[in-house]
Amino acid sequence: MQVFYIHPDNPQPRLIAQAAELLRKDQLIIYPTDTSYAFGCRLGAKEALDKLKQIRALDDKHQFTLLCRDLSEIATYATVDNAQYKQLKAHTPAPITFILNATKDVPKKLAHPKKKTIGIRVPSNPIAQALLEAMDEPILTSSLILPERDDILDDPFEIEELLSNQIDGLINAGIKTTKLTTIVDMTGGVPEIIRQGAADVDSLLL
């Protein structure tokens, strides 16, 4: 496993490029987002996705999330009408995962099998944004929650100790204050809060 010690506010471009190269080779990494550390891999990375499912003991009903640079990338992967787009624009970047109807460009393995939905999130974290910029495409992301634990791991040295033989890369940006993302389902007529996390989305419900 490669470890990259990256500054949380001023990510070193050389190290970001090396981490992005791992993702391009369909490797599984752990990196910081604006809420916590998370698993990340390329959209079509079958081996990395299989590894991720194994580590987290996920079944096929799991709702995956795509981390996007900005809203311009969303149209490829999710269908949104004008009203939804305005709501998304007003609430990004933020620690919010929006559940949207997936387009046919989303690999079948990633869209929710029954609902045909996908989670979309635009982060404000400098490292996550730098990584997305270097990749020039969304990153498949998943919370760093292990099956036998309720908490999200926030100490990169503990993450390294626990998972060094199961992942390919780790971006160490120091200990993060762990928060959960807020999850909002946008597929019905009215936005519905599935999980209240770090972001206040009351204005979405007005």
Check: CB of residue 19 under 8 Å from CB of residue 29.
Answer: yes
Mean pLDDT of 180-185: 92
Mean pLDDT of 105-133: 89
**Is residue 111's pLDDT more than 90?**
no
Check: CB of residue 182 under 8 Å from CB of residue 193.
Answer: yes
**Is residue 40's pLDDT more than 70?**
yes
- C-alpha dihedral, 105 to 194 to 147 to 131, nearest 10°: 50
Distance CA(144)–CA(40), nearest Å, equals 10
Lowest-pLDDT choice from 63-67, 168-172, 198-202? 198-202
Tell how strand 96-102 and strand 182-185 pair up.
parallel
Q: Could you report the per-residue pLDDT of 76-89, keeping only the tens digit for each?
A: 999 999 989 999 99
